[in-house]
């Protein structure tokens, strides 16, 4: 079963973008989040509960990061995020 992009976006959101390395996620279901830098190195990996969660990448460099979000049944989407310091 594949979740359509618009429906998936209702399950997960994050802000602010760009940010200084600290950002908030909101999700209606538990999700797994993986954050990769621009060369593909994983810099964060966390299971999030439903609701608001804060993630901190303050030890990471400025640049573009890719957020991979996986929900139940393995459905996955990705977002781009900018970290500026």
- Looking at residue 6, what is its pLDDT? 53
pLDDT at 59 exceeding the cut of 70: yes
Please report, rounded to a whole number, the percentage of residues in the chain having pLDDT higher than 70. Answer: 88
Instruction: Answer for the pair 76, 65: CB distance below 8 angstroms, yes or no.
Output: no
**pTM exceeds 0.75 for this model:** yes
| DSSP letter string, 27-74 | ESS-EEEEEE-TTS-EEEEEEE-SEEEEEE-TTSPSEEEEEEEE-GGG
Instruction: Answer for the pair 28, 22: CB distance below 8 angstroms, yes or no.
Output: no
pLDDT at 16 exceeding the cut of 60: yes
Instruction: Answer for the pair 21, 59: CB distance below 8 angstroms, yes or no.
Output: yes
13 lies in which domain range? 5-83
CATH code assigned at 59: 2.60.40.3080
Number of structural domains in the chain? 1
């Amino acid at each position: 079963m594949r979740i359509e992009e618009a429906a998936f976006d209702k399950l997960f959101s994050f802000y602010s973008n760009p940010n200084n390395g600290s950002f908030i996620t909101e999700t209606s279901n538990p999700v797994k989040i993986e954050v990769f830098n621009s060369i593909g190195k994983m810099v964060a990996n966390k299971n999030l509960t439903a609701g608001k969660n804060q993630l901190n990448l303050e030890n990471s460099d400025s640049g573009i990061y890719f957020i991979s979000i996986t929900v139940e049944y393995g459905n996955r989407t990705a977002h781009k995020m900018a970290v500026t310091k």
